[in-house]
Amino acid sequence: MNDLSVQFEGVSKKYAHFSLENIHLELPTGSIMGFIGANGAGKSTTIRILMGLVHQDAGSVRVLGHSMPADQAAAKLDIGFVSEDMRLYGAATLAWHMDFLRPIYPRWDQTYAMELARRFDLKPQQKIKGLSHGQRVKAALLLALARRPRLLVLDEPTTGLDPVARMEVLGELMAVLADEDRTILFSSHNTLDVEQISDQITFIDRGRIIDSDDKEAFLDRWRRLRLVLPPDGVVPRLPGVVEVGGSGRLPVLTTNRFEPAMVSACNDLGATVQAVDTMTLEEIFVANVHSRRERLTA
């Protein structure tokens, strides 16, 4: 029994102007991972390797116990994949798409498909070309969900959705997780979505994984400390500081290894801790990317 649904070990892929380097990634079964990166960071390439659509130059990829890309045909029966560039047939209706997929996937659930159509406010008899962007995303998601896949892989599922559609999609993703044998990986540059529903969070930048952890640990270890120094005081050296901002006697430190004991340590060094601020996932992501890029150029 393998309790990892996705496992990347030392995966690399080189292109002329972009390379994915030494990617390690582990996604436990029954959880949901938010995969965050700026545009062009390598999210889609990583997902295409996971799906066997792009072959890695080095490293091993296992998905639901299958080795990729070798066993991709068997793996894909159990994976539901939705990406932005996936095209449905414009001239055909949603019902036509359902009838097309039903005989291919043994676990296709027609009752659930119709229920989703109702909840997403989609009319099965409507042609795809008459749908708005949000309706198309929901139609593609419906077709993936009704197959009842063990692993759902979603490339930017909430991009371009209005707030109501976003909440519907996030709610449906959480409903999938009610079954603890099912797993979701979704990429996004909307950190708010990721912060709310993800168990695991992975940051990618310029083709490298820069941080990966469970969400609670992430939010717990990042803090901003606002200090007041005595005249001629020096900024105390604290573990995990990635950024020092603020001004002379009022420095602001950002650390990724916060512990409550740091506050008394600062006081012992003569610096008064004025405030310890928690950070949103967005602030953590930006601080993480900046510090990593600065270290690379230093």
Interface with other proteins by CB under 8 A: which residues?
Answer: 30-32, 167, 170-171, 174-175, 177-178, 180, 192, 196-200, 214-216, 219, 278
Nearest approach, Cβ of residue 233 and other proteins (Å): 22
CA distance from start to end of the chain: 45
State which residue, 73 or 192, has the beta carbon closest to other proteins. Answer: 192
CB of residue 106 vs other proteins: minimum separation in angstroms? 26
Task: Report the residue number, 3 or 85, with the smaller CB distance to other proteins.
Answer: 3
Report the amino acid identity of residue 178: A
> Could you tell me if 46 and 68 are in contact, meaning their C-beta atoms sit under 8 angstroms apart?
no
User: What is the dihedral sign for C-alpha 281, 38, 88, 63?
Assistant: negative
Supply the minimum distance, in Å, between the C-beta of residue 32 and other proteins.
6
Beta bridge partners of residue 35, listed in sequence order = 187, 202
Helices (H), the chain: 43-50, 72-76, 94-101, 110-119, 133-145, 163-176, 191-197, 215-221, 261-268, 281-297
User: For 105, phi and psi rounded to 5 degrees?
Assistant: -110, 115
| Minimal distance, residue 148 CB to other proteins, in Å | 16
* Closest to other proteins by CB, 174 or 234: 174
Within 27-85, residue ranges assigned H as helices are 43-50, 72-76
Nearer to other proteins (CB atom), residue 53 or residue 197: 197
- Residues 155 and 47: beta-carbon distance below 8 Å: yes
Q: Which of 182, 162, 167, 34 has its CA nearest to residue 107? A: 182
Q: What are phi and psi of 229, to 5 degrees?
A: -95, 150
Q: Which is nearer to other proteins, 198 or 202 (CB)?
A: 198
Name the residue nearer to other proteins (CB basis): 85 or 180: 180
Which CB atom, from 21 or from 214, has the smaller least distance to other proteins?
Answer: 214
